Amino acid sequence: MSHAVANKTETEAAPNSSLKQSAAPQPANSHDAKLLNGSLARTNGLTHAASVATSSSGYGSSSAAGSNAGSGGATSSASSSSTAAVASSTALPLPPSSNGLQMPYERFRADDSSYVPIAQFYAGRSVFITGGTGFMGKVLVEKLLRSCPDIRNIYLLIRPKRGQEVSARLTELLNAPLFESLRQEKPKELSKVIPISGDITSEELGISEKDQNLLCRNVSVVFHSAATVKFDEKLKLSVTINMLGTKRLVELCHRMLSLDALIHVSTAYCNCDRTDVSEVIYAPPYNPDDIISLINWLPEDILDQLTPRLIGKRPNTYTFTKALAEHMLLKEAGNLPVAIVRPSIVTASLNEPFAGWVDNFNGPTGLVSALAKGMFRTMMCEKNYVADMVPVDIVINLMIAAAWRTATRKSNNLLIYNCCTGQRNPIIWSEFVKHAMTSVRKHPLEGCLWYPTGDLRMNRPMNTLNCIAKHFLPAYILDGVARIMGKKPFVVNVQNKIAKAVECLEYFATRQWRFKDDNVHALLHTLSPKDREIFVFDVRHINWDKYVERYVLGFREFLFKQRPESLPASRKRMLRLYYLHQLTKLVAVLLTWRFLMSRSKRLNDLWSSFLENALRMARLIPFL
């Protein structure tokens, strides 16, 4: 099978042994990126393994690093201090296939007897999932159980938490509303989920030797979605989870006897320091091993001081460590069958297991919830920029299909899938806010503090003034009233949390990226019509107006625990808040006008003259 081609590749340059930023060289000949792992050449993203160019400009020789393992055998590992990879900025593409798709993708053909349906591929297989108790992990588990009924087992890495054993945490997980249809229709399927006690931050993932052997004997597909998604996470913990956790998982995967696919979940924003992002791994600013060494020997207070300089143009440690983790995966994976899925902003489900399901206040969910409560009215945002968000079930279906494709079409390419909506079905921020505003007024939350309104601004002084006047001033007044009435004040605290969330999202709301998703589009065309119906990841089918309405109904039910039966009473309250809001605006205008008139004799004279002329016109009306 021919290799896929990238329209644009970037240099995978190994930094020197000292910690410094690496600059991508510009070789004279135009070749694609290629990383040597022992005797095996692994290509970067869609790049073609045509040749390797060596450079004498201080990057060293192409020394091997990584472990070699076939997808069905044991592994021997070898590592070196640095890894060299060379690419040109404009790789020459191979000729596309006759059907218009770049190889190794071929359109589904009804007469292709070798085609294996996705559900059939997972039949009899055991899957290992990290991050299975998180937002995406839960949807992944539910989807595999529901749509791949013959799957053998799903092993979940679960960390004991607050004295709660992993078995108790698994029971709590499976009792969530997300699994309600499975509990009613296919209760036996839930017994296929097996907890594996461990911790992504520990050596060998904190998994016992017995459980490691169990996984190595039985698992053939791995989904790695465990990560810290906190934007303001300290660098040490972010590196430990997002980078070291990935490295330790890869070490375990090298020991698996029948591994056919490893799907690593990254983020489209790991390359947010550039505006055009292709489905390739870009050269990181530092050697990942150097960053790992740094967090091991530097005190945490010194690390905190260095963090802004280390992350550079990236806004937070999350995107920084995710970028380094991708490059480390490219180096460490050897010949493991690996693919990377990069979602943009993951939001509530589109359809599965039911529309609007969400279990956290991260990202836009928290801000739209605050808007619905009448507590959020202004933020810095370029209203005409694309709001690249993608429903969680779209991402999960793509992950499942990517694992199927990785296992059934062997290739030396490490394929990357940018799971985004900005190219195929974009929605700009102003449209999203408009849909959200309409929906929160139509389906109001119980206990709204004020009528939902809001504006997107790019004028920072004006935004700051509005924050003070519309967010914090009312918050202090309400908390003052609460204290007088002997109640616990909480509004100022909530506003502080909202301000922190807005600060994290502001970077992404005031910039725009073009995430190329050719691999995702090509993968879609390799599926049979039935598989496309079962594992939907075609973002062109999203109706944003309906989606946002279901999104609002979803967080109303699943986050605020408010039943649909309470909607009539909430709508009556919303109507009262609307009239109160209009009355307040009128009073504010009158008071402002009164204040101005009292300070300006000229304005007072103009107003008196206007009223006199208006009265004269009124007297003439009966004669017209």
CB atoms within 10 A of CB 195: 21
For domain 118-358+387-426+513-541, give the CATH superfamily.
NAD(P)-binding Rossmann-like Domain (3.40.50.720)
The pLDDT > 70 percentage for the chain reads 82
Confidence of residue 231 (pLDDT cuts 50, 70, 90): confident
Please state, in angstroms and rounded to a whole number, the distance separating the CA atoms of residues 83 and 501: 38
Q: Which residue has the higher pLDDT, 200 or 21?
A: 200
Residue 2 in this model has a pLDDT that exceeds 90: no
Please state, in angstroms and rounded to a whole number, the distance separating the CA atoms of residues 419 and 392: 10
Residue 27 in this model has a pLDDT that exceeds 50: no
Q: Which two tokens stand for residue 209?
A: 């030797």
Residue 152 in this model has a pLDDT that exceeds 50: yes
Span 395-439, pLDDT tens digits: 999 999 999 999 998 877 899 999 999 999 999 999 999 999 999
Q: Which residue has the higher pLDDT, 231 or 122?
A: 122
Residue 13 in this model has a pLDDT that exceeds 60: no
Please state, in angstroms and rounded to a whole number, the distance separating the CA atoms of residues 435 and 439: 6
Span 179-230, pLDDT tens digits: 999 999 999 999 999 999 999 999 999 999 999 999 999 999 999 999 887 8
**Domain layout of the chain by residue ranges:** 118-358+387-426+513-541, 570-620
Burial of 285 (0-12, 13-18, 19+ CB in 10 A): buried
Residue 82 in this model has a pLDDT that exceeds 60: no
* Integer CA distances (angstroms), 74 to 67, 77, 224, 258, in order: 10, 10, 21, 9
Please state, in angstroms and rounded to a whole number, the distance separating the CA atoms of residues 61 and 57: 10
* Integer CA distances (angstroms), 515 to 12, 72, 575, in order: 20, 34, 42
Q: For residues 88 and 30, is the Cβ–Cβ distance under 8 A?
A: yes
Provide the whole-model pTM: 0.82
